[in-house]
Amino acid sequence: MSLNEEIARRRTFAIISHPDAGKTTLTEKLLLFGGAIHVAGAVKSNKIKKTATSDWMEIEKQRGISVATSVMGFNYGDYKINILDTPGHQDFAEDTYRTLTAVDSVIIVVDVAKGVERQTRKLMEVCRMRNTPVIIFVNKLDREGRDPFDILDELESELKIKVRPLSWPINIGEKFKGVYNIFEHSLDLFTPDKQRVSERVEIDSVDDPRIDEAVGETDAAKLREDLELIEGVYPDFDVNEYLEGQVAPVFFGSALNTFGVKELLDCFVKIAPAPRPTQSEERLIEPQEEGFSGFVFKIHANMDPNHRSCIAFVKICSGKFERNAPYKHMRTGKTLKFAAPTAFMAQKKNVVDEAYPGDIVGIPDTGNFKIGDTLTSGENLHFKGLPSFSPEMFKYIENADPMKSKQLDKGVQQLMDEGVAQLFTNQFNGRRIIGTVGQLQFEVIQYRLEHEYGAQCRWEPISLYKACWIESDDVEALAAFKKRKFQFMATDREGRDVFLADSNYVLQMAQSDFPKIRFHFTSEF
């Protein structure tokens, strides 16, 4: 197969949801259709259960599971599908943001009873920043939930994206009878069954009397009424609008009952984008280019603390990746060869000889890589840094064992390279501040520093609201701001200026007092 054909058949995406909406279940059902697994229940959730916050063995075990399920590749018909898994626990949201930089599209799972929840809103913001095409799967139709029209309105207003239903449920909860597929004009009847695929009724159009026979006259009439309303309210589905991230097609189903999943998958492979061009600082890189290029979007520490080896996950952006070929590591300028790169098929890792744009290869690493690193077959390229978002929680990190300060420094540096949290250095007093999305990350850092690096750390409180990356075209204004706020100025790991606002009020005052300064809540602007 030619490079172009290999690229055209690839679909690399992530499934995102608020915890418990059904991401793991949906992933598993997709694998079932791809023949990658044969029984339901084979995919372990990489969800770190809420109760496990202080159960370290459990967290370590679950970190192990998430290596196995980090990328799941399988063939479906002529397509090669790569699902990138994202951590379920919101304390690891930063990991999810980065994974979203490595996908070409996204499926969002929403619980029909709960609607749009907080984490989904946040993740959608990241998709919007990059115009990532989004398909929405409204799940758990077998349970009582909201009216589908209300859900559509909520999706639109909460996720700030136009929606277009491509399937429509006939009732919900106990009376749920099936889904009318607007995309293909077919009817699928629901039978609660975890293993079996739904029953399809052949119909010619929405007026076909076979619909009345299948679901009864009342429900058939209601369906026709609903469809008429949909056609009246929502413009026709335009695949280009979807590809530009302007409109999100919506499907309804029940992942647990394998219902509506095949329809979703069949539509997904048809409309979802093949690997898209990637922006580097130098130029736009097309996947079809001959030269290989890729970037590290995730680093996974090994389970064995005695061997500080990791797996770096590289997203291939262009050209063909080959085992043992010399590649340039842009940050260090070194030429590296990879003898044992792994590909992820089904739930197995295998050494691969070659891989194509859209694929992810896992490279065993002993500390060469940092998140965001670029690899190429020679050209000097730098993929745009992966975005950091302002952390939600901050603490000073202090050395609790003066004999081990080297170990602590090294540990902190490597954990930050891995993207576990963000490090800021206060420009005024030189103290180090760790910023995280959740409390669990502080616990993980402390635990890993001790067990992997033999270092002891202590946390000290600091009350901060947000970290803002600042910039200005006016050098004097910037200098004046930094002078005024000197106690609250910090430097991130790339050496950029960051203002640490201790309250929303202070931030708003700063914004109005210094109109020439631009305040950013992400490092990518």
Residues that bind ligand G4P (CB under 6 A): 17, 19-25, 45, 47, 88, 139-140, 142-143, 254-257
CA distance 425 to 412: 12
Distance from CA of residue 195 to its chain's centroid? 27
Residue 43: CB minimum distance to ligand G4P, A: 9
Residue 29: CB minimum distance to ligand G4P, A: 9
* Nearest to ligand G4P of 23, 63 (CB atom): 23
Residue with tokens 């000889």: 353
Residue 22: CB minimum distance to ligand G4P, A: 4
* Nearest to ligand G4P of 19, 367 (CB atom): 19
CA distance 502 to 280: 34
* Nearest to ligand G4P of 22, 358 (CB atom): 22
Are 435 and 492 within 8 A, CB to CB?
Answer: no
The type of residue at 13 is: F
* Nearest to ligand G4P of 179, 507 (CB atom): 179
Q: What is the pairing mode between strands 374-376 and 326-329?
A: antiparallel
* Nearest to ligand G4P of 85, 452 (CB atom): 85
Helix pair angle (148-159, 217-233), 10° resolution: 30
Q: How many CB atoms lie within 10 A of CB 366?
A: 10
Residue 456: CB minimum distance to ligand G4P, A: 34
Residue 141: CB minimum distance to ligand G4P, A: 7
* Nearest to ligand G4P of 142, 417 (CB atom): 142
Q: What is the CA radius of gyration of the chain?
A: 25
Residue 25: CB minimum distance to ligand G4P, A: 3
* Nearest to ligand G4P of 172, 352 (CB atom): 172
Q: List residues bridging with 252 in a β-sheet.
A: 138
| 141-143-149 Cα angle (round to 5) | 50
Residue 443: CB minimum distance to ligand G4P, A: 21
* Nearest to ligand G4P of 22, 319 (CB atom): 22
DSSP summary character for residue 91: G
For residue 64, give the nearest of 288, 291, 347 by alpha carbon: 347
Tokens of 444: 């993980």
Residue 311: CB minimum distance to ligand G4P, A: 22
Residue with tokens 């949801």: 17
Q: List residues bridging with 336 in a β-sheet.
A: 327
For residue 31, give the nearest of 23, 43, 20, 19 by alpha carbon: 43
* Nearest to ligand G4P of 220, 264 (CB atom): 264
The 3-state DSSP class for residue 465 equals coil
* Nearest to ligand G4P of 147, 204 (CB atom): 147
* Nearest to ligand G4P of 23, 395 (CB atom): 23
Residue 85: CB minimum distance to ligand G4P, A: 10
Tokens of 314: 């590289």
Residue 192: CB minimum distance to ligand G4P, A: 9
For residue 413, give the nearest of 509, 299, 250, 518 by alpha carbon: 299
CA distance 429 to 155: 46
Residue 109: CB minimum distance to ligand G4P, A: 6
Burial class (CB in 10 A: 0-12, 13-18, 19+), 213: exposed
Q: What is the pairing mode between strands 342-345 and 284-285?
A: unpaired
Give kind and range of the element (H or E) at residue 335. Answer: strand 334-337
* Nearest to ligand G4P of 72, 457 (CB atom): 72
Residue 97: CB minimum distance to ligand G4P, A: 17
Q: Which residues of 17-37 are buried (b: 16+ CB within 10 A; e: fewer)?
A: bbbbbbbbbbbbbbbbbbebb
